[in-house]
Amino acid sequence: MPDFQTAVIRVLIAGTLIMGIGFTGLWFVFRAFDSKNSERKPVLLICALLLFIMTCCVLLYIVSR
């Protein structure tokens, strides 16, 4: 396996773990301190950005095969 594919796989594994832990933590925090005026839009934008980056990594891995 070329070095690029190995690096992309490591990024995907580490990124998925970090995203999963971070999203779960944020979900519990927002659920615990939820109020009527809470603003979740910034968190959703960050999650969408991370999902976009992970999707690009998956596409790079598919293209590099």
The residue length of the chain stands at 65
Residue 49 tokens read as 């950005």
CB count in 10 Å sphere of residue 22: 14
pLDDT digits (tens, 9 = 90+) for 2-11: 788 888 888 8
Helix runs in 1-65, H state only: 3-32, 41-64
Question: Is the full-model pTM beyond 0.75?
Answer: no
**Model pLDDT, residue 37:** 60
**Model pLDDT, residue 38:** 62
pLDDT digits (tens, 9 = 90+) for 12-59: 888 888 888 888 887 787 777 766 666 667 777 777 888 888 888 888
Q: Is the pLDDT of residue 64 over 70?
A: yes
